[in-house]
Chains A and B, each alone.
Chain A
Amino acid sequence: MSTTPFARPFGELRLTDRPTVGGKGASLGELTFAGAPVPPGYVVTTAAFEAFLAALDPGGEIRTAVEALDARDTEAIARAVAPVRERIEAAGLPEEVAAAIRGHYRDLDGESDTPGEPAPVAVRSSATSEDAEDASFAGLQDTYLWVRGEDSLVEHVRRCWASLYSVESVSYRRRLGLPEHDLAMAVVVQRMIDPRCAGVMFTRSPLTGDRSVVALEGSWGLGSALVSGDVTPDKYVIGKVTGDICSRTVSEKARQHRMDPSGSGVLEEDVPEYLRSEPCLSDEEIHELVRLGRQVESHYGTPQDIEWAISRNLVPGHNIFLLQSRPETVWASREQAPVAAPKARAFDHVLALLGGTGSGSGSGGGAK
């Protein structure tokens, strides 16, 4: 695929590309660069959005009108944005933009995990603004799963763009006073995988902050079941240094979220009886996930909080994917006093412990 400013595959992207591909796109690029098996995809850049909006609204009237809205006047916002969204969803795309989206989509078909059909993709907004982290925009812009075929994809990219002009989105921006002329949106298009199981992985213990272990949680189907608290996941703690699985809790997993086989969304359903108490991961899969987690952690140089999924359809060795990785923040933000400092003589540590004063450096660490 020829290089175009309108769409860029993950493999070309790094964190520094955030201004043109948004936070999500940039982090998927960086994760791919780190050697992680990220489901392949590309980002429809902010340049594509700019080109589209420039063609739709050469005079910039839309932006001017939105910027003039009062955050508190929800009714006025609703009246103003409805026609904007309709115009965006109806407008044709500039030729080069459409060609870029379609061309990269055809490339994704190669690594399909459900071959023989148009590749199903997820279409997600990817925010660019530094002070508009994905977290604060969460839920404001749309995500579309299981999108198939070039025409449908183009339509969903347009709907993603249009979601910038939802009442909630506009209200949010007006409340923060964000300038409309800086507003841009990138859209991530990513090959969907149909997970047999999915979950999260922390490269330090979420319980104790221990950096020598990896904590894994997983359940059947999509990770959303776990995130939403619909299911108690299987839990594993693995020693980083030895790779030993130090603890293993296989839970009764009664519910799962899974891809609708008809290809149009997500089903929430009961897990078949015979699978409920089965572990969702094999030891080989656990070890491979831990290896990947450590690789990503070492790439970023700090403990990570990772989302992962294992394809239902691909063969072992090719079926594990990382969907997202971000720095662990809870324990990182806690200042930890040093556990111990060296003493004049090595055996002073023992004298301190056996003397009932602990082995630590006065921090209260050591023996209890």
Chain B
Amino acid sequence: MNDAGPAPRFPLPSELTEVAGAEDWASMYPYYTRFQPEDDQRFWFYNAMHFPEPMPAFDAITAEAPYTALGANTARMFVFPTTLGIEHRIVNGRVYITANPVTDPEEIQRRLAVFSERAGHYYENWDELYQGWVTRVTALIDEVQRIEVPRLPEFEDPEVVFQAKGVAQNHYVRENYHRLIDLYSTMWHHHSEFLMLGYGAYVVFFEFCKTSFPEIPDQDVARMVAGIDVILYRPDDELKKLAKRAVEYGVDDLFVEGCDPEKVLAALAARGDGGRRWLEAMDDAREPWFNMSTGAGFYHHHRSWNDDLTVPFAALPGYVDQARRGELLDRPTEQLTAERERIAQEYRSLLAGEEERAAFDQMLGLARAVFPFVEDHNFYCEHYFTTKFFAKVREFGALLRDQGVLADVEDVFQLSHTEVGQALTDVMLAWAAGSGPAGAAHVRKTVAERKRMLDALAGWSPPPALGPVPEALNDPAVRMLWGITAETIQAWSTPVTDGDHEVRGFAASPGVVEGTARVLLSANDIGQVQEGDVLVCPVTAPSWGPVFGKIAAAVSDIGGTMSHAAIVAREYGLPAVVGTGHATKRITTGQRLRVDGDRGIVTILD
């Protein structure tokens, strides 16, 4: 990057061209998400980790709410010394972000004084505060489920009158909808509450290891810290348990490759006692463990296991086979714990002296203390809460359908969250006035138009980044979550030459294997994955856990070594290359690949 040529840069936001058939894409999103002329001066990167597909209008809330909360936490609540919030923009349906740094040394010092006191309080009382956090977030999830979507009866219930309540049902349409949106925002505030502090503790340990052992693989640092008994693995563990039950209850023959969940459930119901017991066991597991999105929890159409049993039922036949053969399905947690200890102790013994060992112990201890949150918040927030949230939005969608505004429940997601509010107001007015809502004519046209635009936008290849290459990137979240460093940016800005058969990324999990590529752009296609495939996807989400039992390796466009995909791949002992920038564009399903997880290189062999 030191060449004398023009300063390296990516396309500027203002240079991006429209996608044919989706010229009016901006109408789907709030005005404050649009690129402004001065945004050309800044570096933006495509957050394909969380938003690998064009955003349906409603789903844009999954960018708005998190960045509202994350920035508030870092910039205003804890007052991080060197980093403010993250800004997002939407263009052609894709979410680009940039982190705002603090660079003035005096300002950093001023913020540091505030930060030390506030962050210190959290670190000092971490376990207790985290326990409180679990209680608070669990209560939020309860509350989301208890939100009532009014029925809008022809006549109000008599007690409204006789108990002098004085408020009609149509009022609660808006109140309860707003409550739902507010709870979603609250959840994201809690999501961010511990997040940056958790990553901060991890980054400190990471940097220490990298300085003491300049060539230590990132995954070894992760191995010393990562939890063994985290609830992130629990859904997959529950599937394994169900596989064992299937054998135990003599219904294992129903679980075969490619089976249809509906048919299996029907067959189980007809199987007498064994079938009944298995169905009971599944019902026990479903709450809460099947509240796992098949994506990262940012799209309404990435249905959860509970919404769509295809994902768990795609994994069950393999586990049932193993259970039948008497293979151990349980994760060897004791062995994993012992190995984690051994690795930490051996690195510790290689340090130069007692001083360093004492510092190592402090940093490792702190990193491990914060990690239960870092790993488990994902289940509580992105999966459990979010599944319930989208389910409740669908209930409002059902109201809109029943009142004639929408043709289909799912169409509610083609309106932004403020537009849903408007549509509900339409219904409130119409119910009160005794007329029909105006929506049927207005909204259905909008929905059809937007579905068409989303289809067109899906074919657009977003550049990995926009704007000038920045001089330095020091945001811990950007580095740890998205794996974006000066090197990544360098790799992205190096043009791909024809005939180049290599795709480079981060070596996230060691090992070298060859296999057939299975490119999945959407988590909904997860059922296509065959035994031994190399999964190539925009982002490997932890909820794809069961798929990791089938695949030979994982390759992703986005993600750092601490992305959950990387963690799960290491757990399953699969090679993984993450953060390639554009693997899904370079690779097509059916190509033979060699995935070198030691070096972070994917070779296209065909």
Interface residues of A (CB under 8 A from B): 205, 207-213, 237, 239-242, 244-248, 336, 338-343, 345-347, 349-351, 353-356, 359-361, 365-367
Contact = CB atoms under 8 A, between A and B. Distances in A.
Contact of B359 (A205, A340, A355): A340
A367 B203 contact: yes
A339 B343 CA distance: 20
B350 interface: yes
B215 A244 contact: no
B358 A342 contact: yes
Q: Which 7 pairs from chain A and chain B are nearest by CB? A: A347-B123, A208-B214, A342-B358, A346-B362, A340-B359, A212-B213, A355-B112
B213 A244 contact: no
30 contacts: A205-B214, A207-B215, A209-B214, A210-B215, A212-B215, A240-B350, A241-B220, A242-B217, A242-B220, A242-B510, A244-B598, A248-B596, A336-B352, A340-B356, A341-B356, A342-B355, A342-B359, A347-B201, A349-B359, A350-B200, A350-B204, A351-B115, A353-B203, A353-B207, A354-B80, A355-B82, A355-B108, A359-B208, A361-B359, A365-B211
B207 A366 contact: yes
A245 B510 CA distance: 8
B250 interface: no
Given A341-B359, A359-B204, A367-B207, 14 more contacts: A212-B216, A239-B216, A241-B343, A247-B599, A338-B353, A339-B211, A339-B212, A340-B360, A347-B123, A349-B366, A351-B115, A354-B119, A355-B108, A366-B208
Given A212-B216, A246-B598, A339-B211, A351 B352 contact: no
A246 B359 CA distance: 26
Interface string B337-351: 000001100110011
Contact of B119 (A241, A242, A342, A351): A351
Q: Specify which of B215, B220, B347, B350 lies most central, judged by the most chain A CB atoms within 10 Å of its CB.
A: B215
B288 interface: no
Interface in B50-76: none
Question: Does more than half of chain A's interface fall in helix, strand or loop, or is it mixed?
Answer: loop
Given A239-B216, A339-B211, A354-B476, A349 B362 contact: yes
Given A336-B352, A349-B204, A356 B120 contact: no
Contact of A360 (B116, B211, B599): B211
Contacts of A367: 203-204, 207, 474
A202 to B, nearest CB: 12
A338 B116 CA distance: 25
A248 B346 contact: no
Given A210-B215, A212-B215, A354-B80, A349 B363 contact: yes
Interface string B438-461: 000000000000000000000000
Nearest to A340: B359
B124 to A, nearest CB: 7
Nearest to A344: B362
B217 A239 contact: yes
A320 B200 CA distance: 46
Contact of A211 (B124, B204, B350): B350
B221 to A, nearest CB: 11
A347 B121 CA distance: 10
B169 to A, nearest CB: 50
B366 A338 contact: no
B560 to A, nearest CB: 16
A188 to B, nearest CB: 34
A244 B510 contact: yes
Contacts of A205: 214-215
A212 B350 contact: yes
Nearest to A245: B598
B223 interface: yes
A237 B359 contact: no
Contacts of A237: 215
A64 B350 CA distance: 53
Interface string B89-111: 00000000000000001001000
Interface string B200-240: 11011001100111111100100100000000000000000
Contact of B82 (A240, A245, A342, A354): A354
A215 to B, nearest CB: 9
Contacts of B359: 339-343, 349, 361
Contacts of B108: 355-356
A128 to B, nearest CB: 35
Contact of A241 (B347, B360, B476): B347
Given A346-B363, A347-B124, A367-B203, A355 B81 contact: yes
Contacts of B258: none
A208 B215 CA distance: 8
B101 to A, nearest CB: 10
A347 B356 contact: no
Nearest to B207: A367
B82 A210 contact: no
Contacts of A342: 355, 358-359, 361-362
A31 B296 CA distance: 55
A213 B214 CA distance: 9
B527 interface: no
A45 B56 CA distance: 85
Given A241-B346, A247-B598, A341-B358, A354 B366 contact: no
Contacts of A347: 119-120, 123-124, 201, 366
A245 B220 CA distance: 12
Contacts of A340: 208, 211, 355-356, 359-360, 363
Nearest to A357: B112
Given A338-B353, A340-B356, A350 B217 contact: no
A321 B453 CA distance: 67
A339 B208 contact: yes
A350 B476 CA distance: 11
Given A246-B215, A341-B355, A351 B476 contact: no
A231 B204 CA distance: 41
Q: Specify which of B120, B208, B347 lies most central, judged by the most chain A CB atoms within 10 Å of its CB.
A: B208
A62 B457 CA distance: 95
Nearest to A355: B112
B365 interface: yes
Contact of A210 (B214, B353, B507): B214
A338 B351 CA distance: 9
Interface string B118-145: 0110011000000000000000000000
A341 B355 CA distance: 5
A351 B363 contact: no
A353 B350 contact: no
Contacts of B596: 248
Interface in B361-379: 361-363, 365-366
Contacts of A208: 214-215
Contacts of A349: 204, 208, 359, 362-363, 366
Nearest to B348: A241
Contacts of A338: 352-353, 355-356
A345 B365 CA distance: 11
B211 A346 contact: no
Contacts of B350: 211-212, 240-241
Q: Specify which of B211, B214, B360 lies most central, judged by the most chain A CB atoms within 10 Å of its CB.
A: B211
A213 B281 CA distance: 48
Interface string B311-349: 000000000000000000000000000000011001100
A200 to B, nearest CB: 17
B84 to A, nearest CB: 13
B277 to A, nearest CB: 43
Contacts of A339: 208, 211-212, 351-352, 356, 359
